[in-house]
Amino acid sequence: MPIAPPQTRQFRSFETNIEYARKLIRAGESLQGLEPGALDVTDLYRAAWVQAVSATDHWLHEELFRRVEELAADPTAALPAQLQRFELPLSVIESVRREERTMAEAVLHHVKAKWAFASMHNPRKIAEAYRLVSDIDLWQSVAVRLNEWNQHRTNFSSQTVRRRFTVVIERRNKIAHYADLEDGHFKQRRPLTAADVNDAVDWLERVVLAVAKVLDD
């Protein structure tokens, strides 16, 4: 049964970015076996892998900021403990008192100052950031949701979800920082197939959807 995606600008942007990764995969598949000159079609797969991770990183940032702003703007909202303890300089509080900015604007500005340039690649850091918008155990909740969607044919735990997410990120880092070269080689690169990349993209998309759904709940 298809899972309805969130109808937010942030998620639509994520879907657009993920579709670009899938187009790169399809382009590689269409060229596979044609030996088009100097082009290594696996480079398209590597570009798709990096694009999918970037799409995930971007969504995690934008979704965090969206939810922080909504919580801070709602005087009736039950704030997560981490957001209740979020510190603002006295000068900022004074500017809110003088109605030079709203509390939501002030909180969002300082959350962005802390998290906008921090990569959302480390599951521990992601969980830390998202404690600003929810008190749930993020990765455990994601694991439960994934198992439900798989009709319990899988037995994901918080640890296995985080490990698999990290494996995808680590391969991205090898591609982005080391040209995906085999350890100790200057020319030989790690093998990569369309199936490998499709699996990684599907996994990231499902994790993002699970994060969105457990936070909505």
83-108 pLDDT per residue, tens: 999 888 888 888 888 888 898 999 99
| pLDDT value of position 37 | 61
pLDDT, the chain, mean: 93
pTM for this predicted structure: 0.93
Radius of gyration for the alpha carbons in the chain, expressed in angstroms and rounded: 20
Task: Report the C-alpha dihedral over residues 165, 170, 175, 177, rounded to 10 degrees.
Answer: 140
The percentage of the chain sitting over the pLDDT mark of 70, rounded to a whole number, equals 97
| Over residues 53-59, mean pLDDT | 98
Comparing 113-122, 176-185, 189-198, the range with the smallest average pLDDT is: 176-185
Q: Which helix (H) or strand (E) holds 175?
A: helix 158-178
Identity at 96, one-letter amino acid code: V
Beta carbons within 10 angstroms of residue 110's beta carbon: 16
**Secondary structure letter of residue 56 according to DSSP:** H
Q: Which residues pair with 189 in a beta bridge?
A: 181
